[in-house]
Structure 1
Amino acid sequence: MIMRRLAQQLKQSIFGRWPSPARKFPQPGTFLDANSKLEEETLKGYLPHHFYPVNIGDMFRSRYQVVGKLGYGSHSTVWLSRDLQQHAYVTLKMYDHESSHARTEKEVYKHIESLKSSHTGFKLVRRAIDDFEIRSPDNAYSYQCLVHPPLGMSLCELRHRAKGKMLPEDLLKPTLIHILLALDFLHTEAGVVHTDIQENNVMLGVEDESILVDFEEAEMSNPSPRKAVDGRVIYASRNLGIPKMHGRPILSDFGEARFSLTLGKRWEDVQPLVYRAPEVILRIPWDEKIDIWNLATLTWNLFEQGSLFKARDSNGKVSDSHHLARMIAIMGPPPKEMLQGSEYAAKFFDSDGNWRSAAEIPCTSLEKLERNLQGTQQSSFLCFMRKMLQWQPENRASAKELLADPWLRSI
C-alpha cells in the first residue's frame, strides 16, 4: 500500500498534476417547442447532419468536457469546455460537415503559429492550441474541431452595452490600435489577408476567469433551455457574464482569410456586404488593402449610428449600383484608370468614367454624416477615415502608417 502510494506520488511529480475529474451535469430543465426553430436551425439551408450533435457534458479526446454552449455561426457551433488535463477552460469551435472554412482557418492558424513572431500584433491574433476530427454517431459524416483559449464578448456586444450603442472615442482609439497592430503583423509578416473584419470577429480577451467559472456553475444549477428532435438536442446559447476587467481586443475568425502569395491576378468575391471595398465590388484583383477599407467601415459602425454604406436599394434588394453611388458621394468619382481594369464597371460608368446607372448619387459627405465630434476633433477623425477610404488600394494607408495617425494617437 505504501509502495503504491509512493509510486503514484512519483508519477504525479514527473508527469504533473492528475487530470481533473469529469463532472456529471444535471438532467435537462426546460424543453422548448420542437416545432420552433432554434439557433443554428434558423440558418439558411440548414440540415441536421451539417452540425455535429454536441451535448453538454460530452467528452472529446478524453480531455475536453463541454460545459455549455457559447454560440453559433453560419459554419460552426461554439462551446465552452474544460481541458481536464491542463486544468483550464478552452473553447471548442465545432465546424459543420466537411467545411472549407475549417480547412482554411486551421491552415492559417498553423502558419501563424509557425512564425513564432516577436511582433506585438502576433499576440493580438487568435490562436488554435489543438485540433481534431470527429465522426458522426453513425460514422457517415466528419467534422473538424478547433480548440482555442476562451475569449469574452465581441465588439458587437460591447457596443450594444455602451450608451447610444456606440463606442466612446476614448475606447474606440485603443480598440483600433490593437486591430491595426494585428493587421500590421498579418500583412507584413504572416502574408495573410483577413477579408472579414467585422465587429463579431473582434473579441475581448479574458482577464477575469470568474466569468468562465460562473458560466459553468450556472449550467449546473440552471440547465440551458433546449429542444430535442429525432434524438438530436439543440441548445440555447448562454451569455458570459460581465467581467471586472476586459482583456485586449483579439482579431478572430480566419475562415475567410487568404494568403497574399496565392492571390495573384485573380478576383474573388469576399467581405461582408456593406464592408466590401471598391475593387471587390468592381471585380478587380485585390490585395491586403481590402482589410484597410474594411477597418474604415468597421470604425464607422462602432462610432456612429448605422453603416457608412448602403448596399441595398429602396426595396431591400442587394444593389452594387446603390453601393457605388454612395461611394461617389463620399469620395468623388473613381479614377478612370481603375474603371478601365474592370469589365463589370461598364454596367455603371460610360467610357469616360461618367456615372450612368439609374441609382441616384446622394447629396451627402462625411462631414454631414459625422455627428459625434466638432471642430478640429472632427477634422482630425475624418482625416484618419480618408486615409482608408480611397478608391485605389495603393492610395490607402498601411496599418503601420495608420498607427502613427495624430487623431488615433491623441488618447
Structure 2
Amino acid sequence: MRVNTSHPSAFITLITSCQPRVFSSSGFTNIDLSKPIEEETLPDYLAERYYPVHIGEIYNSRYQVVTKLGFGSSSTVWLCRDLYHKCYITLKVHVRSRRPIPEVEISNYLRTIQDVHGGEKCVRLVHDSFQVQGPHGVHQCLLYQPAGVDISDFMHYLPEGALPEYLLRPAMRIVLVALDYLHQAKVVHTDIQPNNILLGVDDVSILAEMEEDEIPNPVPRKQLQDRIIYTSCSMPLTNGEPVLSDLGEARFSKEKQCGLIMPSVYRAPEVMLGMSWDYKVDIWAAWTLFEQGHLFKNKSLESTSDHAHRFAEMVSLLGPPPLENLVPIPDQSLEGRESQLEGGEKGIFLQFIRKVLRWLPEERPTALELLSDEWLRGSEY
C-alpha cells in the first residue's frame, strides 16, 4: 500500500548528501542484558512482535535510520534520512500484522478533499507507507513529517506543569481548527490526549545535529542475540506550532456510532455509559490537553465500581446529567402499569406503592409505618 504525496522538501529539512552514512559500531554504552529498557518495559511486550530495527539500516531502498525517537505498545519510531529527496523524515515501524493500518486509509481520504479549509496544515498525516518482512511476520511502516515533543512532555519543562494562558489560547485554537477540519470531513479522531499533540519543528537544523551527534556519541543500547534495543534520543524543544497527530484510532463517522473508544482516563460520558456517540467525543478531552493533571481522579474503568466512582466525579463537577444520559427513558407510568384496580381504589393503592418505591432507602417507610397505610388497612377500619 502506498500514499501518493508531493515532493516533501517543502516541509522537511534537506540533508547534505544522498549517500548513506556509516554509523559507529563501537564506542557506545552496553546496557546490562538483564535490565529491561524501552519497549521491553511495557506490560504486554513480546520481542517477536517488534521488527529489529538497526541504526544505519536502509528501508525501501531510500530511508536510512539515523536514531531512535521513541516506542509504544504498537510501534517504534525513528528519525531517518530520505536519500532520494535528501531530507529527514520520521519512520514508525508497527508491530507485526497483516491488517491494513486505518491511519493510511484515512490519510489517503483526507488528501483527496479539494476544499481548502486551513486545518489540513494542523493535522499530521501519513506521508508514505510500505511493508517490511521481519523474522516473525510482516510489519507496516509509516512515514511522517518530523515533529517535536508532545504537549505532555512540554508541560513537564514548565514551572507550573501546565500551559500558561498565553500559550494555552493559541494552542487550543490550533487543535480546534484541526478538529473542525476532521469533523467536516466526517472523521472522528477518538484519541485526543496530550501525547497526540506535537510541537512543530521550526528550526530544521536540530535534525541534522541529532544525526551528526550519533556518529561520535552513539546512543546506549542492549545487544541481544536476535536484536539490538536502542535507547531513545531526546528531541530538543522546538517553537513550531502544534499539530494533531496519530490517526491510528480515527473513524469515519457520518452518523452516530456505538462501541468502546478512547483511553479510559479521557473517556467521554456517553462512551462510558454505553450510549451512541459522534464527533463530539473529541471535544470532551479539552481539559486534559492543557491543564495540570487529569480531570477525574479515578483513572481506571475496569469494573462496575470504577464506572460508578467516575460517574460520581462527573456529577460532582458538572451537576446532575440529563435523564437520557443515564438510560433511554421508556414512555410509561405507574398508573399505566397498574391494571387490576379502578377509580379511587387504584389511586390509594398507587399512593402506597409510591411510598415503597423510593430511590433513597432512608425515605422508604418501615414495615410498621406501612401497616397503617390507608390502602393496606382497606375497608376493615
Taking structure 2 as the reference length, what is the TM-score of the superposition?
A: 0.79
Aligned ranges 1:118-129 → 2 under 5 Å:
118-129=116-127
Q: Does 1:251 align with 2:244?
A: yes
Q: Deviations over 1:160-185 (max 9, x none)?
A: 11112111000000000000000000
Q: Corresponding residue for 2:318? A: 331
Number of residue pairs aligned between Structure 1 and Structure 2 = 319
Q: Is the 8 A contact 2:58 2:64 kept in 1?
A: yes
Q: Does 1:114 align with 2:105?
A: no
Q: Deviations over 1:329-348 (max 9, x none)?
A: 011111112222399xxxxx
- Give the AA of the match of 2:283: I
- Structure 1: segments with no counterpart, 5+ residues: 1-16, 344-351, 357-411
CA–CA distance in structure 1, aligned partners of residues 309 and 78 of structure 2: 39
Shift of residue 99, structure 1, vs aligned partner:
7.0
Shift of residue 354, structure 1, vs aligned partner:
6.2
Q: Does 1:218 align with 2:209?
A: no
CA–CA distance in structure 2, aligned partners of residues 355 and 144 of structure 1: 55
- Give the AA of the match of 2:311: L
Shift of residue 127, structure 1, vs aligned partner:
1.6
Q: Corresponding residue for 2:232? A: 237
CA–CA distance in structure 2, aligned partners of residues 355 and 210 of structure 1: 66
Q: Corresponding residue for 1:141? A: 137
Q: Corresponding residue for 2:293? A: 306
Q: Corresponding residue for 2:158? A: 162
CA–CA distance in structure 2, aligned partners of residues 250 and 214 of structure 1: 23
Instruction: Mark the CA change 1:311 to 1:116 in structure 2 (over 3 Å): closer, same or farther.
Output: farther
Aligned ranges 1:352-391 → 2 under 5 Å:
none
SS in 2 for 1:234: strand
Q: CA RMSD in A?
A: 2.6
Q: Is the 8 A contact 2:44 2:73 kept in 1?
A: no
Instruction: Mark the CA change 1:144 to 1:185 in structure 2 (over 3 Å): closer, same or farther.
Output: same
Aligned ranges 1:1-400 → 2 under 5 Å:
20-28=18-26, 29-98=28-97, 103-136=101-134, 138=135, 140-188=136-184, 190-243=185-238, 246-261=239-254, 264=256, 266-295=257-286, 297-299=287-289, 302-303=290-291, 305-312=292-299, 319-341=306-328
CA–CA distance in structure 2, aligned partners of residues 130 and 289 of structure 1: 29
Which 4+ stretches in 1 moved above 2 angstroms? 310-313, 340-343, 352-356
SS in 2 for 1:128: coil
CA–CA distance in structure 2, aligned partners of residues 197 and 58 of structure 1: 33
CA–CA distance in structure 2, aligned partners of residues 176 and 278 of structure 1: 22
Q: Which structure's residues are more often helix, by fraction?
A: 1
Q: Is the 8 A contact 1:18 1:85 kept in 2?
A: no
Shift of residue 19, structure 1, vs aligned partner:
6.8
SS in 1 for 2:200: strand
- Structure 2: segments with no counterpart, 5+ residues: 1-14, 331-356, 362-381
Q: Corresponding residue for 2:344? A: none
CA–CA distance in structure 2, aligned partners of residues 61 and 69 of structure 1: 18
Q: Which moved more, 1:333-342 or 1:154-163?
A: 333-342
Q: Is the 8 A contact 1:129 1:148 kept in 2?
A: yes
SS in 2 for 1:146: strand
Shift of residue 240, structure 1, vs aligned partner:
1.7
Q: Corresponding residue for 1:373? A: none
Instruction: Mark the CA change 1:79 to 1:342 in structure 2 (over 3 Å): closer, same or farther.
Output: farther
SS in 2 for 1:93: strand
Identity across the alignment (%):
42
- Give the AA of the match of 1:141: G
Q: Is the 8 A contact 1:75 1:99 kept in 2?
A: no
SS in 1 for 2:148: strand
CA–CA distance in structure 2, aligned partners of residues 259 and 354 of structure 1: 41
Q: Deviations over 1:106-164 (max 9, x none)?
A: 1111111121441111110002221000101x4x4000001111001111121111112
CA–CA distance in structure 2, aligned partners of residues 176 and 154 of structure 1: 14
